[in-house]
Copies of this chain bind each other. A is one copy, B any other.
Amino acid sequence: MSPTSPPAERGDRGDSTRRALIEAAITEFARDGFHAASTREIARSAEANQALIGYHFGGKEGLYLAVFQFISEQIQARVGMAVGPIEAYLAELQDLGALTMPQREQCVALLMRLVEGMTRMFTDPNAKPWAQLILREQQSPTKAFDILFEGFMSRYLGIVTQLILRLRPELSRDEAALSVITILGQILVFRVARSTLLRHMTWPDVGPDQVDLILKQIKANLTAMLHSKD
């Protein structure tokens, strides 16, 4: 079955244990990283036996990878749904030349929706552990990073880049790709530099009202970037 299947048998019991261990592990690994998490604490939090980590995942590292596999699947289910239709739409436009005005507006709308979705995902308090794990993995990538990149990042960045290229055809592929990274930066910063954000803005927290302000700012920047004449 899946590459992380237990060596023997199938059954609800084992599955629910695996699931509980993964969910507990997400919290623990996110808190202070791989090394700071202990398998004892994960097992306690999952109300499972510590030895089962070895049995189901081969060890602490196997559990870590299973966590990323799980997260990647969850995000694909959440974001990937929107990506497919856009890829189809872009393929449709492919052979055509310059965009008509309605097509252009449609592309802008799609771009905004993608950016909004990603921003909401990264600012959602429920996704905090995911975000922390992903960010940590970026700075010293292990095999887990490949799972993430292949799982959803690659596709997401790809369609955003294509949309930018459509909207600013004078850009080279590299210029468009680089501008996508700066857009990503404007989204990530609200998770990455959260402490700086709160202190600089003197916000008590990032709640729904703050997310609205953040989205307004990012969208305004994006609009400005799309109208830029350099």
Interface residues of A in 42-93 (CB under 8 A from B): none
| Cα(A218)–Cα(B182), bound, Å | 7
Q: Is the CB of B178 within 8 A of A141?
A: no
Binding site for B on A (CB under 8 A): 31-36, 132, 135-141, 145, 149, 153-154, 157, 161, 174-175, 177-182, 184-190, 192-197, 199-201, 213-214, 217-218, 220-221, 223-225, 227-228, 230
Contacting pair B221 A153 (CB below 8 A): no
Closest Cβ–Cβ distance, residue A144 to chain B (whole Å): 11
Interface centre among A174, A196, A218 (most CB of B within 10 A): A196
**Known pairs A153-B196, A220-B228, A224-B227. 9 more at Cβ < 8 A?**
A36-B36, A154-B199, A177-B201, A179-B217, A182-B218, A184-B193, A220-B230, A221-B228, A224-B225
A and B contact pairs by CB, cutoff 8 A, 6 listed: A139-B195, A149-B196, A157-B196, A174-B213, A181-B200, A223-B228
How many chain copies? Answer: 2
Contact B188 A200 (CB under 8 A): no
Cα-based distance from A189 to B200 in the complex (angstroms): 19
- The residue in chain B whose Cβ has the minimal distance to the Cβ of A174 is B201
Complex: chain B residue closest to A138, CB-CB: B195
Chain B residues in 8 Å Cβ range of A153: 196, 199-200
Q: CB < 8 Å: which of B33, B178, B218 contacts A32?
A: B33
A138 touches B218 (CB 8 A): no
Residues of B within 8 A of A228 (CB): 220-221, 223-224
Least CB separation from A182: chain B residue: B186
Residues of B within 8 A of A190 (CB): 181, 185
Cα–Cα, bound, A221→B57 (Å): 46
Q: Which residue of B lies closest to A185 (CB)?
A: B189
